[in-house]
Amino acid sequence: MKFNNKITPYLLVSPYIIHFLVFVAFPVVFSIVLTFHKWNIISPMEYTGLSNYIRLFKDAVFLQSLINTLIFLVIHIPLQIIVALFLAEVLNQKIKFRGFFRAAFFLPVIVSGVVVTILWQQLYGFDTGLLNRILVSIGLDKIGWLTDPNVAMPSIALMATWKNVGLYIVLFLVGLQTVPEQYYEAADMEGASKWQKFFKITLPMINPTIFMVVILSTIGGFSLFIEPYIMTGGGPLNSTISAVLYIYKQGFFYYHMGYSATLGFFFALIILLVIVIQKRFVERDI
């Protein structure tokens, strides 16, 4: 049987093309169109020109949500890198039960985000939470982990770090194992200290891994949603409302689809900008 050479290639790529058109191209174009409209899904769209963009620049809660996301990133990314790198370094040594520890640190990564969030909600409880019980037992004051507006976002960042650190440990382990042993042997012969070897050999050699971890953590951090959605609902006093949570609320709580699309579009531009900046500076300087 002969193939029709003109049609067959198109037919073979058509599943991907259809998927791309329906689930990527159409939503993107439709979202951009939506930014110029008011639409609550059930009533016809109403053209509103640039009003959604004007509203965006006056929206104090959106600004707050961007600041909250930034606070999360500032705490989460360095913490993630430091903890993951430290643990990877330890787990790269020939220690007892190394396999067990590697698996144990990775376990939270494969547990559902909702389950982890509910677990930490119990740990963070003011009166009954384990953390406050420990604090009281050693004579310290209780902390409003999720009820104090100044502490709630750092608490969420801490939890997110615990959840994701296993993945980055694996990445760093791979990075560490690619550093040639001869470099360390040469440094030993020159009398370099452990710290010197770490800063002069290890860090520069795992630069690509660090860059990847920064990019992945940043993208993950920008998409912060489940944790504040379940644990705090964005409170107290909007201190944990992330940009994605706010976009979701506008879209699916209040059905302000046009405004939600505008926020999403603007937020995507911010992410793009940050990634470009990171690529220019992080890749070069580390």
Does position 43 interact with another protein (CB under 8 A)? The reply is yes
Element (H, E) at 37: strand 37-38
Rounded distance between C-alpha atoms, residue 71 and residue 91, angstroms: 30
The three state secondary structure string of 110-171 is HCCHHHHHHHHHHHCCCCCCHHHHHHHHCCCCCCCCCCCCCCHHHHHHHHHHHHHHHHHHHH
Question: The tokens of 279 are what?
Answer: 């690529």
Rounded distance between C-alpha atoms, residue 121 and residue 156, angstroms: 10
Among 10, 40, 63, 268, binds another protein (CB under 8 A): 40
**Largest Cα–Cα distance of the chain, in whole Å?**
84
Smallest separation, CB 32 to another protein (Å): 20
Part of the chain binding another protein (CB under 8 A), chosen from 23-31, 35-43, 76-84, 160-168: 35-43
Smallest separation, CB 24 to another protein (Å): 18
Smallest separation, CB 138 to another protein (Å): 12
Rounded distance between C-alpha atoms, residue 195 and residue 193, angstroms: 5
Part of the chain binding another protein (CB under 8 A), chosen from 75-83, 104-112, 170-178, 248-256: 248-256
Among 122, 150, 177, 193, binds another protein (CB under 8 A): 122
Nearer to another protein, 31 or 238 (CB): 238
* DSSP 8-class letter at 202: I
Smallest separation, CB 73 to another protein (Å): 23
What is the size of the binding site for another protein (CB under 8 A)?
Answer: 34
**Among candidates 78, 93, 96, which has minimal Cα distance to 194?**
93
Part of the chain binding another protein (CB under 8 A), chosen from 21-29, 83-91, 182-190, 226-234: 226-234
- Residue ranges binding another protein (CB under 8 A): 1, 3-4, 7-8, 11, 14, 40-43, 55, 121-122, 125-128, 136, 142, 144, 147, 149, 232-238, 252-255
